[in-house]
Amino acid sequence: MEAGLEDAWKMAGHVPEDPGLRETFEQLPRAPIRLLVGPLNKDINQGGLLRIGEAFRIERIDFNPERDGAVDMSGHRGTKHRLNWRWIELDQALAEAIKDGYHPVALSLTERAVSFDRFDWPFPLALVVGAELDGVPVEIEARCEATVAIPLYGLVQSLNVACATGIVLQNAVSQYARSHPDFTPARRASQRLL
């Protein structure tokens, strides 16, 4: 939190629930997950994805540069400096992840997809997401080991990419945490929920 905002919170009587967390946060282990983001066509999702990636303490986000060069990190709420992220072409990020031993899984509503909540997540994981209307490019999905999707119950066929990514990451990170007891939430409020 920026100093001015932190001072305002203190003056309002807000007491930090987790004193010292900001100083020790960087030493906490991260989930072995890379989020590989294709062109979004709606750059406003960039900031939301940063916030989601930090919320689940993943390793990194690789953003494909937008075709028009647009950047919109609104929604990151300070997480832009707490999570590793970079600009890199999606095909290059995928090749690098595979070379580094990550298991690529696409989040896309295709015939190949299985329900995300019945999927046995492989780690280290490279979760590949794409634009809301176009999904993950076909040639990229073909290079993934599996494809997952979220079953929806209404007329709407898909969710906003940031929303869908948040749902799927929560499931994957929870599965990872169950088999890695050293990976726990940073904040006590979330620790109490487990």
Mind listing the pLDDT tens digit for each residue in 147-162?
Answer: 999 999 999 888 989 9
Indicate the pLDDT class of residue 73, thresholds 50, 70 and 90: low
For residues 169 and 58, the answer to whether their CB atoms sit within 8 Å is yes
Mind listing the pLDDT tens digit for each residue in 8-58?
Answer: 556 655 556 766 666 667 778 899 999 999 988 766 788 899 999 999 999
pTM: 0.84
CATH of 32-191, one of 1.50.10.20, 3.40.1280.10, 3.90.1150.10, 3.40.50.720: 3.40.1280.10
Question: Interhelix angle for 161-179 vs 45-55, to 10°?
Answer: 10
Indicate the pLDDT class of residue 83, thresholds 50, 70 and 90: confident
**Tokens in use for 40?**
């979004």
DSSP string, 154-182: SS-----HHHHHHHHHHHHHHHHHHH-TT
- What proportions of the chain, in percent to the nearest 5, are helix, strand and coil? 35, 20, 45
Task: Assess whether pLDDT exceeds 70 at residue 94.
Answer: yes
Task: Assess whether pLDDT exceeds 70 at residue 74.
Answer: no
User: What mean pLDDT do residues 49-78 have?
Assistant: 79
- In DSSP terms, 87 is beta-bridged to 63
In percent, the amount of the chain with pLDDT more than 90 equals 59
Indicate the pLDDT class of residue 121, thresholds 50, 70 and 90: very high
Task: Assess whether pLDDT exceeds 70 at residue 101.
Answer: yes
